[in-house]
Amino acid sequence: MTRLRAVRADGVGALAERVLADLDGLVERMGEAYRAEIAEYAELTPGQLAIEVLPVSRRLVTTFLTCVVEHRSPTPRELEVFESSGRQRLAMGMPLESVLHAYRIAGREAWAAMCAAVPVGETGVLADLGSRWMDIVDRTSSVLAQAYLAASHERLRHVDARRRELVEALLSATDPSEVAAVSLRFSTVLAQSYVPVVVAGAGAAAGIDALLADAPAGTLGGHRGDRVLLLVPQRVDGLRPRPEVLTCWGRPAACGRALLEEVQHVERLLVTALAEGHGRGAFGPDDLLVEQLLLGNERVAAALRLRVLDVLAARDPAGVVLGTLRTYLDTGSVPETARRETVHPNTVTYRLGRVRELTGLDPRLPRDSALLVLGLGLPTVDE
């Protein structure tokens, strides 16, 4: 039986001794309650429960009773065991919610034991013990939770760094022998080719684990700035884009230079989608084809930007003419443009004339309208 160093002569000291006399039984009841009420604890073997869990439950009770008897708060050294258990529960794969649930069960079972140990007529001793017991449960569980979260964040940083390192190694490989070396170094079986998928939007970077969980088996991933790059083996048939983010993907490419070039193409596609006002949705290599025509020719893109975007931005700062032009290019109809813009058809005709005056391109002529479509599809210089 566990003994206290200095037993108080009052009812509290006697109560502590009675609880400690049945400490083994109390700890056993705690373990049975964990397994009955928490699925993750029910999956533990008896050995795991006895070696990794119940000693912490025992320490919780003895620490509390010792502090009560000695009129003090727990010391930092006494709290170390609970910090250690937080890191240990993470290593065991226990969700933090389940671990804190176990603490609540421990508090309940220990309090029931204390109440049962109070003789008739001495229940007044419980008034002081109740608040102090809740305080010790709160303090120890808080220490555990902080250690659990700190260890979790450190693990995530390590995992993220390893993911990024693996992806960058694949993209920088120059020949099959270097790809094989990457596979050996990271102990990872690599596919013959990967489809690059770039995901952007609020929460995309923080949600990389969920993105990888939803992706086909064998998908690799890492952060590229505030975006996520997924490398999906062979094809993207099994990819389920999330509606709240912007997702762009390319064609299969072998690891190394070819894959790097495809990644860069997908990143340009994503920039183009953003420039077109698409903050969410999914776009593949066969989407936004008109806009993609300019992706590989910066000289032509610069000329069109100067002739279309820069001129309209300087002479139409409110964007009235530009808005009408976009609507007209979408519909090809003056009446429909007037209806959508809520203006008279003559106003549409006047604004299209202004486009011709400012840019030298007539939106009503097929060749000129094609150049205007290309020009308006360009991302701005700072994107």
pTM over 0.85: no
Over residues 289-336, the pLDDT tens digits come to 766 666 556 677 778 788 888 888 889 888 999 999 999 999 999 999
| Residue 307 CB coordination number (10 Å) | 17
Per-residue pLDDT tens listing for the chain (383 residues)? 455 444 444 567 788 888 888 999 999 999 999 999 999 999 999 999 999 999 999 999 999 888 888 888 889 999 999 999 999 999 898 999 999 999 999 999 999 998 888 877 777 777 778 888 888 889 999 999 999 999 888 887 788 888 888 888 888 888 888 888 988 888 888 888 999 999 998 777 778 888 888 888 888 988 888 889 999 997 777 667 778 889 999 999 998 899 999 999 899 888 888 877 788 888 988 887 766 666 556 677 778 788 888 888 889 888 999 999 999 999 999 999 999 999 999 999 999 999 999 999 999 998 888 888 877 766 554 44
- Please state whether 332 falls in left (phi above 0), alpha (psi between -120 and 50) or beta: left
**Distance between CA atoms of 262 and 256, rounded to whole angstroms?**
10
* Annotated domain spans of the chain: 11-154, 181-292, 298-376
Q: Report the candidate in 230, 256, 17 with the shortest Cα–Cα distance to residue 118.
A: 17
Architecture of domain 298-376: Orthogonal Bundle (1.10)
With a CB cutoff of 8 Å and minimum separation 6, the contacts of 89 are 96, 99, 144, 148
Per-residue pLDDT, 88: 92
Q: Are 363 and 333 in contact (CB under 8 A)?
A: no
C-alpha separations of 151 from 86, 155, 173, 209 in Å: 8, 6, 33, 17
**Distance between CA atoms of 199 and 214, rounded to whole angstroms?**
13
Q: Report the candidate in 181, 163, 143 with the shortest Cα–Cα distance to residue 60.
A: 143
Domains 11-154 and 298-376 are alike in CATH topology: no
11-154 CATH? 1.10.490.10
